[in-house]
Amino acid sequence: MHGVDWSALHNPVLSSATHGFKDQALQWSGGAWHMLFSDMTALPRAPHVHFDVAESSSPDLVRWSRPRVIASNAASPDIVRDPAGQFVVTYQLQSDQLEYRTSSNATLRSWSTPHPLGHELAPRMIDAALAFTGHGVILGFKAGATTQHFEIAWAPSLTGVFHVVGLPDISLYNDTVENYEFLTVDGVWHLVATSNTLDEPYIFTLGPGDPALPSTWLRWSPGRQLQIPNQTFNTGKGITSVTFEHANSAFLCVGPGAEFYLTYAASTELTTFGGWGHARIGIARSSDLINWQVPPE
């Protein structure tokens, strides 16, 4: 496929012997690939893990720059472009509140100071995702502690006041979804999300209804699981999300040739790094969002 020598790739595409990488978001910009992710450092005492949001860039998805922290004590980044063309990265703080930063630099080397995002909506908010509709901005997030749920809010602009719209009509395994990403495919809005049970990737289509109306964002098609092949680094004994991670926190990126790349976090165990496991980032590609191919390990 255009722009990537697939034969040169090996899964996982981004990993570290001493750090765990998960919750990734991939962006093609300025002639390079940019991976934003939760960078996990093991600690000797509880909570046994420290999170930062980091960025690494690559010309070919093979050679990656040294990870650079862009937000400390933070996790679960998501990246989109606003109507003016600048990049907006969202993430959650250790206090389970949301922030965002912006960048007008195509190389994503410089970011604004942090701005609060939707702090008026809920006491606990994680896994933020934004969609700029041309009629305001949609914010998707996971709320709640004991009982968690996917929620939608709307504001007239990113700097405006957000208002709760409601809970989308999505349920998988009688549970919610997490790690959200909004994107358009062939002019139609889609949601990529991870099942809260089993941590597997799904894709949904918005509607029916007008995307300009906030209430439309509560209606979605039934989810279709993205079937990512098993490899050694994303397979373990037992049940995915319980003893290992198969394809957690999936993120869909449209490449420079309109090809689809799905990145995901995987771990063969869930005991290290405070129970998150020694996560590494894999990649799969598709031309139709149905059939997926992975590089060799």
Predicted confidence (pLDDT) per residue in 204-258, tens digit: 999 999 999 999 999 999 999 999 999 999 999 999 999 999 999 999 998 887 8
56: DSSP letter: E
Asked whether residue 242 is assigned to any structural domain, the reply reads: yes
> What residues make up the domain containing 259?
10-286
pLDDT tens digits, 166-183 = 999 999 999 999 999 999
pLDDT tens digits, 110-156 = 999 999 999 999 999 999 999 999 999 999 999 998 889 999 999 99
| pTM, full prediction | 0.96
- Dihedral sign, Cα of residue 173, residue 175, residue 178, residue 184: positive
Question: Residue 48 is part of a domain; what is its CATH number?
Answer: 2.115.10.20
Asked whether residue 1 is assigned to any structural domain, the reply reads: no
Asked whether residue 5 is assigned to any structural domain, the reply reads: no
Residue 216 phi, psi dihedral angles, 5° rounding: -60, -30
Asked whether residue 272 is assigned to any structural domain, the reply reads: yes
- Does residue 1 carry a pLDDT above 50? no
Asked whether residue 176 is assigned to any structural domain, the reply reads: yes
For 28-32, 71-75, 188-192, which range has the lowest pLDDT when averaged over its residues?
Answer: 28-32
Domain total in the chain: 1
Q: What is the mean pLDDT of the chain?
A: 96
Asked whether residue 3 is assigned to any structural domain, the reply reads: no
218, 223, 227, 231: CA torsion to nearest 10 = 50
Query: Percent of the chain, pLDDT > 70?
Result: 99
Asked whether residue 106 is assigned to any structural domain, the reply reads: yes
pLDDT tens digits, 259-279 = 899 999 999 999 999 999 999
CA-based max dimension of the chain: 51
Residue 127 phi, psi dihedral angles, 5° rounding: 55, 55
Asked whether residue 87 is assigned to any structural domain, the reply reads: yes
